[in-house]
Amino acid sequence: MAGGGSAIRGSRVGAGPMGEAERGDTAPRQRVVFFCANGHETATVFAVDAAVPEAWDCPRCGLPTSTDVNNPPPPTKIEPYKTHLAYVKERRSESEAAEILEEALEKLRARRARGEVIF
């Protein structure tokens, strides 16, 4: 029994040979290998005339890499999370904080003396 109405099977409209004749010549390329502190090796291809970056992120562990196999960059230092209070303490001394607190308490006491409702 004959199948459906297409005489050309396994192709689609516009399909054809995809050689360099249709796409043009490819740019000359260079293979650059980057190394991370964990010993991972990452090979990336760049155009010959493209600027090769000094550092690259390792796709396996995320550490920075370099092209020097004997001297990969050290892992970046991760700063711990700071609370709002830690940032405030960086900007204000203890005496400044005491002055600000006393000023706020004076305003609060004045409002209470006037009979204002404070939530």
Binding-site entries for Zn(2+): 36, 40, 58, 61
Show the tokens assigned to 64.
């920075």
The single-letter code of the amino acid at 110 is: A
Backbone torsion region of residue 72, taken as left when φ is above 0, otherwise alpha when ψ lies between -120 and 50, otherwise beta: beta
User: Nearest-CA neighbor of 61 among 33, 37, 34, 32?
Assistant: 37
User: Nearest-CA neighbor of 67 among 50, 54, 80?
Assistant: 54
> Which residues are documented as binding site?
36, 40, 58, 61
> CB under 8 Å to 20, separation ≥6 — which residues?
26
